[in-house]
Amino acid sequence: MTNELAFYTAEQLLAGYENGDISPVEATKAALDQIAKYDSKLNAFVFVDEEGAMASAEASEARWKKGKPAGLVDGIPTTVKDIMLMKGFATRKGSKLTDPNTPDAVDAPAVERLREQGAVFLGKTTTPEYGWKGVTDSPLSGITRNPWNPEKTPGGSSGGASAACAAGMGVLHTGSDGGGSVRIPAAFTGIFGLKPSFGRVPVWPASAFGTVSHVGPMTRTVADSALMLDVMKGYDSRDWYALQSNDLNYRKMLEGSFQGKKIAYSRTLGYAVVDPEIIAAVDAAVDLFRELGADVEEVDPGFESPLEVFGKLWQGGAYFAMQNVDEKHLALLDPGLQQVVENGSKITLPEYLEATVERAELGAKMRAFHDKYELLLTPSLSVTAFDVGMLAPNQMGDDTANWADWTPFSYPFNLTQQPACSVPCGLSSDGLPIGLQIVGPMHRDDLVLQAAAAFERVSPVKGSRPDLSKLL
């Protein structure tokens, strides 16, 4: 019972809380039991606040017994990526440069809203240092591993969140995505991850990587991510880019016909080299959209790889964030991040501004593309999860300047700021998850979620999860 309860969705838990069949205390204990049993093998958590979580769960249980839940996620076991502020605890960001003795006085906006609506916080999940790369290891917390195969990476930078989610160590998980950091780990661990439209979920303090970085939900189902988005979205004056609040209820917008919808499918975006097993799984997923009635056309969006543009903005942001750090402390950084900072120091102002112009041209091209196509389908990634301790798969080398080359489908849509998600669509021959990416027009988070939910209902891997007994 306890193990299965750890894999209940938020929807199932809330229904159980309401009718009295399940209590928040039972659900929280189930999550904590999973952490106690498996996290020594996975290293998904920076810290676990067992005492605080149980106190929150007991308070939630009392509210539910009175029929007065605090909000939409009252009593749901939740984790926070250790990039975001969480009141009462230090935010370490995977770095020895941060102070463990200075707890945050306030929550980040997304954390604040989850707390206001009753979420039970289990603790904070691991990240590479300052979230700089697409795998999760850091000088501070070491290597985080994939529940499907602990010799493989869970992706990054929200790799702690994805590993925790896939292993039943919590139900709702916050992630951030500056180049794929929600979608990469979602694809590698067989969960759902959404990068909302830029500004949909307010961010504060601002990311060092600027306007490519988004905050989004990571869950085991599309409906649970829609629930999280309903809680986290909306205006916050601390974020200059925050969108005005809307009255959309994303949970109630998951149903809808795809009959006749014009959808584009691109296997490679015109430039990516993709594992044939991934192509086969995504082809099959796209055929399911055709069976749902969608008018799917195979077409590339028509842009060349924007890796150089992304690299200049990303590395420039890293240099700006670290420009006042002395050499002694820079030496404490992940060696790869040190190289990124050095690369960023060599980018000239004209080069940086040229990159911002090219970024704007890409954004305009994609807006025009969506005048014709309501959605774009692609693979989430070009590879399945590779070995831990590596920056990139063997065949792609270890070039810190171009670390994102193996994730060619994710970073373009950070540049354009569009909503995009990864939804599980298959398993490789060696049993590793494969993801389908769904990209929508700017501000059409509802359409992306609706498409993901429609696919999830017919997915051949719906409900698949790792065999955790192999970790013991």
CB-CB contact of 391 with 135 (8 Å): yes
Q: Catalytic: which of 157, 266, 410, 459?
A: 157
Closest Cα to residue 375, out of 316, 294, 309, 431? 294
Is residue 157 among the annotated active site residues?
A: yes
Rounded Cα gap, residues 32 and 48, in angstroms: 9
Rounded Cα gap, residues 331 and 176, in angstroms: 26
- Paired with 124 in beta bridges are 47, 80
Contacts 24+ apart (CB under 8 A), 52-55: 52/88, 52/121, 53/28, 53/77, 53/120, 53/121, 53/122, 53/123, 54/25, 54/28, 54/29
Residues contacting residue 149 through CB under 8 Å, at least 6 positions apart: 385, 430, 431, 432
Residue 249 vs residues 53, 73, 195, 341, 423: alpha-carbon distances, Å: 28, 14, 17, 41, 21
Residues contacting residue 385 through CB under 8 Å, at least 6 positions apart: 146, 148, 149, 152, 153, 154, 155, 188, 189, 432, 433
Rounded Cα gap, residues 30 and 25, in angstroms: 9
Is residue 66 among the annotated active site residues?
A: no
Closest Cα to residue 255, out of 421, 453, 422? 453
Measure CA 82 to chain center: 13
Q: Catalytic: which of 181, 213, 266, 459?
A: 181
- Paired with 420 in beta bridges are 195, 439
Enclosing H/E stretch for 297: strand 295-298
Give 331's DSSP letter: T
Is residue 429 among the annotated active site residues?
A: no
Give 468's DSSP letter: G
Where do runs of H (alpha helix) occur along 49-194?
A: 50-65, 109-116, 159-166, 183-189
CB-CB contact of 208 with 318 (8 Å): yes
Q: Catalytic: which of 81, 152, 261, 312?
A: 81
CB-CB contact of 447 with 453 (8 Å): no
Active-site residues, by number, are 81, 157, 181
